[in-house]
Amino acid sequence: MSEILTKCETKMNKSVEALDREYQSVRAGRANPAVLNKVTVDYYGAATPVAQMAAVSVPEPRTLMITPWDITSLKEIEKAIQASDIGINPANDGKSIRLNFPPLTEERRKELCKDIKKYAEETKVSIRSSRRDAIEKIKAQKKNGEITEDDEKHLEKKVQDLTDKFCKEADSLAEAKEKEIMSV
């Protein structure tokens, strides 16, 4: 009985965590090493994340500095960044790569806010899908005579409470990210 709730809560939590990771990679005008999370470099035939190949630091608020441990991979990292959807041209000085983040225009900020709302809505759809699956399982248990009608109502209420909690969490993450983008 509580197994359904546990699985449902785990799925919903994973949805919110995925949203948080997505927001970390959204460029908000400030230099944030998380924007490189999705950038992978073909390093000796394996797709390797930049963070595993180099030291990534933030020497200034709008600058990221990438210093590879293997200097021969510098060109490959630069190509991977150019091919990614970060939208920033890397500056290579032969030892490290600098990414200078330009200030965001008002128009770009509004676009980012729309994307943030879209991601939050997708997460809430995923959360509601988890709710639907859990309620279907509860109804199946009731139909098979495994639980009583009172148990069914009680479990459905708990699933709805979880849904409300995680939807609020998704909304608050979205609000915080919007605030961050609009206040740069």
Residue 60 and residue 149 in one domain: no
Q: What percent of the chain has pLDDT over 70?
A: 97
Q: What is the CA radius of gyration of the chain?
A: 22
At 4 the pLDDT is 87
Segment 35-42 mean pLDDT: 80
CATH of the domain at 37: 3.30.1360.40
The more confident residue out of 163 and 100 is 163
Tell which of 46, 72, 100 closes a domain. Answer: 100
Residue 83 has pLDDT above 90, yes or no: no
HSE of 128, CA atoms in CB hemisphere, 13 A: 7
Residue 40 and residue 14 in one domain: no
Range of the domain at 73: 33-100
pLDDT band for position 29 (50/70/90)?
A: low
Residue 182 has pLDDT above 90, yes or no: no
Contacts 24+ apart (CB under 8 A), 149-156: 151/1, 155/1, 155/4, 155/5
Report the domain count for the chain.
Answer: 2
Q: Cβ of 16: how many Cβ atoms within 10 Å? A: 22
Q: Are 24 and 34 in contact (CB under 8 A)?
A: yes
Q: Which helix (H) or strand (E) holds 100?
A: strand 97-100
pLDDT band for position 32 (50/70/90)?
A: confident
At 171 the pLDDT is 93
Residue 96 and residue 112 in one domain: no
Residue 1 has pLDDT above 80, yes or no: no
pLDDT band for position 184 (50/70/90)?
A: low
pLDDT 10s digits, 17-27 = 998 888 877 76
C-alpha 41/C-alpha 61 separation (Å) is 25
Residue 162, phi-psi category: left (phi > 0), alpha (psi -120 to 50), beta (remainder) = alpha
